[in-house]
Every structure is written in C-alpha cells, then in structure tokens.
Amino acid sequence: MSDAAERNWRSATDETPLVRGGLILFAVAGIALLVAAPLLTVFAEAFAKGWFAALKSLGNPDALSAIRLTLTIAAFSVPLNAAFGIAAAWFITRFDFRGKAFLITLIDLPFSVSPVVAGLCIVLMFGANSAIGGWLVAQGYPIVFALPGIVLATMFVTFPFVARELIPVMIEQGCKEEEAALTLGASGWRVFVTVTLPKIRWALLYGVLLCNARAMGEFGAVAVVSGKIRGQTATMPITIEMLYNEYLSVAAFSLAGLLTALALVTLLVKTVLELRHADEIAATHRH
Amino acid sequence: MLRPLINRSPMPGLGLSMGITLTMLSLVVLGPIGALLAQGASYGLEGIWATVNRERVWAALELSFRLSFFAALFNLFFGVILAWVLVRYDFPGRRLVDAAVDLPFALPTAVAGIALTTLYAPNGVFGVLAKEVGLKIAYTQWGIFIALIFVGLPFVTRTVQPVVEEIDREVEEASATLGATRLTTLRRVIAPMLMPAALTGFALSLARAVGEYGSVIFIAGNIPLKTEIAPLLIVIQLEEFNYDGAAAIGIAMLVISFAMLLAINLIQIWSRRRIGDV
C-alpha cells in the first residue's frame, strides 16, 4: 500500500484501534459460530466412527441410488436452465421491447416463493388430480412422484440463477462487436458462438455453478413433489432426511459430507472466478 | 406516444430467444403459480379464509413471520458490520471470512438443518453450553431463530459490500474537517448511504426466511401451536392429500410475502428520495 507510511498515525476516517479490533473480533466470531461450526459438525459427525464406516455407508444401495438420482436431476435441470438463461439474457439485452422490467420481475419471481409453495404449484399443475396431470398419467407418463416432477420443481427454484448473472454482464458489454461481426457477413449463430459466448463464458460458468449447487441440494420443493419413495424418488437431500430420522447419524452425515464438499468446491471456484475475472462477471451482482 | 411493442433491431435470434424465454417461463414458473391461484379461486375467498382462520394456521403464520422478521433484523445488524469490516479493515484470514459468508447459499438446507440440530441439541456442543445458562435451543423457537439467521446471513453483507467499496473517503474527510466526530460521521454520513442497500438485503433475507423449510424442520421440533412453521403446515396438508387446504395456506403466504416486499420497496423509495440516490 502506497500510504503505508501514513498509517503510523490515525487518519480522520479511521475508527480507533479498539473499535476496529472489537468489530473485527465480532465479525470473525460471528462467522465462526454461525457458519464454520455447522460446517465442521458435518465432517465431525460423518467421521465419528472412522473413515471406513463413512465410506461404507456411501456404498449402501439407497445412498448410491440417491446419488445417481441427484446427478440425473442436475443433468436435466442445469443445462435446461442454462439454455433458458442464455435465451432470456439475449432477448432482454439485445432487443428493445415494452414490458422488459416486468419480464425481469417474472423471471426473479421464484426467489421470493417458498420452495414448499413451488412444489405445491407443480403438484397442482401436474398432479394426477389436475387436467394435464390426469391426462399424462393416463398416457403412462406420471409427472408428480416421478423424475419429471422433481426436475420441474428443481428448475422452478433455480430458474433465475443463470439469467441473473448474464443480464447485467451483457448490458455492460453492449453489442458493438456483434454488430461488427454481422456487418462482416457472419450468420446469427456464428456471431453467438464466436463473439458473444467467449465474452460471457465466465459469467455463464458462474451462474451454472450456483444453479448446480442449488439444484443438487434442493430439499423443500423436492420433498413435496417426489413422494419420497426410497430407491426411486429419494434424492440425496431426501435420503439424508430419512437416514437422520432413523438415527443413522454416520450414514446421514456422510451423504451430507458429499454435498458439503460440492458446496465447498463451488465456493472455491466462485472465489477464484471473482479474483481472476472480476471484470467479466458483474461485481455488483455477486452472490 | 406509445412505443412499438418491439423495436426493430439488426440483431438476429429475436424469434428464437423470445420463444424459448416465454415458453420456459410459462411452463416452469407461470403455469404452476397460475395453477395455485386457480385452485385458490375455485375455493373462493371465504374458503381460503375458513382454512386460514384456524388457531393452528394463525399460530404457524405468526411464528414464521415473527421469527423471520427478527432473524432478518439480526442479519441486518450483523451483515452491515461484516460488510464494513471486510471492506475497510485488513486482518489475517479476511479472504477466508469473505468466502465463508457465502456458505449458507451453497450448503443444501437439509445439510444445514441436521448440522445445526446436532450442534444445538441438548447433548450437542453448543447445546450443552446453552444448558449451563438454562437455555434450551434445539426443538424450541430459539432453534428456528438460529436456523433462519443461518439461511439469511449472506444477503445484507453481499448487498452492502459493494456500496461500502464505492464510498468516497473525501466525503468522510469533509465531514471530519467540519468538526464531526467519527461517530457523527458514521451516523449522519455513512449510515444514510448504506441504508437503501441494507434494506434490500433485509428484504431478501426476510423473504428467504419466511419460505425456508429444509434447515428449520429438523431443529424446530414441529409441535403444533408452538414450533410449527407455515411451510411445514403446507407439507402436512399435502401428505393428507388436502390440496385445498395446502393451496389456501400457500396463497396466504404468497400474499403476505408480496405485501411485505411491497412495503419494503416503498420504504426504500422513500429513503432514496429523502437522502438522494447514492
């Protein structure tokens, strides 16, 4: 820091060392108690009976089926939401139309709806009692209490993630380069792939990462639509609940440890992206 | 003059991007929410009122909104201090703390729920300490309060942090040269600048807490009239295949949440007008 020499005395815009120390202590203690302690608890409980017991519990058929199901759900819902996010961001930032602010509000809507209410909405629209759901069940394609319903519920709660990251970045970057490419005769698709995509790749990765973490960990909405059928519609978070309620602490926390590891990797990549590509992901919209 | 619905643009992909956006929005979000409202409409206002106006439902709604409000208030206080500390002070481990703030966003709610319950249960690490001072946390309203603080923790910090970064030190220096004490500067110069962002964070934290399910149900104990939250009541109705009851409570929650967000937006507009946009 260039003003290191000036730091010897206190400037008018600093708090006293005592206040400063107190605030730092308060903040660090708060994070340690509220965030770090639960995090450590997950791993402490998972390995309470040793590494072997933890690993063995993950090899249980129910746990394996839950892991497989959760990966399947993410494999459907995350790319679909990424496609939506790109399309919505393109539509909103590249065209001028009436009702744009309203459209953005609608896209953000899932953030202010309880996951349980989201699940309820899916059940009411696609459940066996509804017109659409009843017809689909008659055709042999049940939505609720089956994979499609869980994917839909997951998509509902993670719907805004990618669009939200892309829109501010694409507004900031403008579309001068795209216009140049168009006047040089590039096709629309080529402009998107060779000009736009490289400009937004880090913001896209950022959004996809957050979307994926939430998709794999979603509990409330999935609890409502899945029917919690063991070995069939029980995702990782649902299986964690079942194991925990059966007092199988090591098994519950081992599975929870896997999801926690995913969360930590997500945070790590996110931090790296924010450090390296801060200008390419909207700094004011990070969270 | 009325603007045309869509202005002409040389950009390609209008039909495709609009088609994907509107189709998916309708199928995934608007359709299902419409189905909830339609169910409510078929049930009628009186029907909804008859369902909601029961002691157990009122107790759950009151509990959810009251504890969410206090948890968001705590997060407002803690979040502003945390944002200030992270931007203004340098200390060992600052980056780690900064990254840890986001953990409640990334950690699945069910995982947070069982971890907090284990920690605060009567035989847990913090539960034992609490018992020393005669406090029971898990399976009481205190437990719900702590879970709601956890899930809403990052919002205020993340909305206030960029604003603190933007504050021009010269404003503070000007205030100091005019004879203001540090406390006066913080109260009369800094606090108004942070207010709109802090309120946004408060609103987000509140909205999140009201709807929270996964991290709460483990630690709550779920005793009717005492520690039963509104989202759990919806789940219970659904498990009994009482779709009307579930829809009525769901609509009540939606309406109260939107009314709260509207109120907070109005306060925000008012505070922006009074202080001027920063």
pLDDT tens across A104-114, in order?
989 988 988 99
Model pLDDT for residues A138-189, shown as the tens digit of each residue: 999 999 999 999 999 999 999 999 999 999 999 988 889 999 999 999 898 9
Confidence of residue A2 (pLDDT cuts 50, 70, 90): very low
Q: Which A residues, 138 through 167, put their C-beta within 8 Å of a C-beta on chain B? A: 152, 155-156, 159
Are A160 and A214 within 8 A, CB to CB? Answer: no
Least confident of B65-74, B121-130, B249-258: B249-258
Q: Does residue A238 have a pLDDT over 50?
A: yes
List the domain boundaries for chain B.
44-275
Show residues of chain A in contact with B85, CB under 8 Å: 23-24, 26-27
What value of ipTM does the predicted structure carry? Answer: 0.90
Q: Which two tokens stand for residue B253?
A: 């929650």
Segment B10-26 shows an average pLDDT of 93
Q: CA of B153: how far to CAs of A48, A164, B145, in Å? A: 28, 20, 12
CB contact under 8 A, A91 and B7: no
CB contact under 8 A, A115 and B253: no
B223 has a chain A CB within 8 A of its CB = no
What letter would DSSP give residue A112?
G
CB contact under 8 A, A129 and B103: no
A188 has a chain B CB within 8 A of its CB = yes
Confidence of residue A280 (pLDDT cuts 50, 70, 90): confident
Segment A204-233 shows an average pLDDT of 93
> Which homologous superfamily is A50-285 in?
MetI-like (1.10.3720.10)
pLDDT reported for residue B271 = 73
Q: How far apart are CA B250 and CA B241, in angstroms?
A: 14
Are A253 and A45 within 8 A, CB to CB? Answer: yes
Segment A129-133 shows an average pLDDT of 87
Angle ∠(A33,B101,A164) on CA atoms, nearest 5: 150
pTM: predicted TM-score of the whole model, two decimal places? 0.90
Portion of chain A with pLDDT greater than 70, in percent: 94
Of B34, B81, B185, the CB nearest to A27: B81
Show residues of chain A in contact with B234, CB under 8 Å: 116-117, 120, 224
Segment A216-234 shows an average pLDDT of 93
CA distance A7 to chain B (A): 12
B189 has a chain A CB within 8 A of its CB = no
Of B35, B105, B125, the CB nearest to A130: B35
Q: Does residue B68 have a pLDDT over 90?
A: yes
Segment B207-215 shows an average pLDDT of 93
Nearest CA in chain A to B87: A24
Least confident of A174-178, B7-11, B15-19, B104-108: B7-11
Residues 6 or more apart whose CB falls under 8 angstroms from that of B47 comprise B244, B248
Q: Does residue A9 have a pLDDT over 70?
A: no
Q: Does residue A281 have a pLDDT over 80?
A: no
Model pLDDT for residues A11-35, shown as the tens digit of each residue: 667 788 888 999 999 999 999 999 9
Segment B191-216 shows an average pLDDT of 91
pLDDT reported for residue A63 = 94
Residue A191's identity, in one-letter code, is V
pLDDT reported for residue B2 = 60
Q: Which A residues, 41 through 100, put their C-beta within 8 Å of a C-beta on chain B? A: 41-42, 45, 80, 83-84, 87-88, 90-92, 94-98
pLDDT reported for residue A129 = 84
Nearest CA in chain B to A98: B5
Show residues of chain A in contact with B82, CB under 8 Å: 27, 30-31
Model pLDDT for residues B148-185, shown as the tens digit of each residue: 999 999 999 999 999 999 888 888 888 888 888 888 88
Backbone angles phi, psi at A97, to 5 degrees: -145, 165
Q: What is the dihedral of CA A124, A130, A136, A140, to 10 degrees?
A: 90
What is the DSSP annotation of B125-158? HHHHHHHHTT---TTSHHHHHHHHHHHHHHHHHH
pLDDT reported for residue A1 = 44
Q: Which B residues, 15 through 44, put their C-beta within 8 Å of a C-beta on chain A? A: 16-18, 20-21, 24-25, 28-36, 38-39
Model pLDDT for residues B121-153, shown as the tens digit of each residue: 999 999 999 999 999 999 999 999 999 999 999
Backbone angles phi, psi at A128, to 5 degrees: -60, -20
Q: Which of 1.10.3720.10, 1.25.40.10, 1.20.58.480, 1.10.10.10 is the CATH number of B44-275?
A: 1.10.3720.10
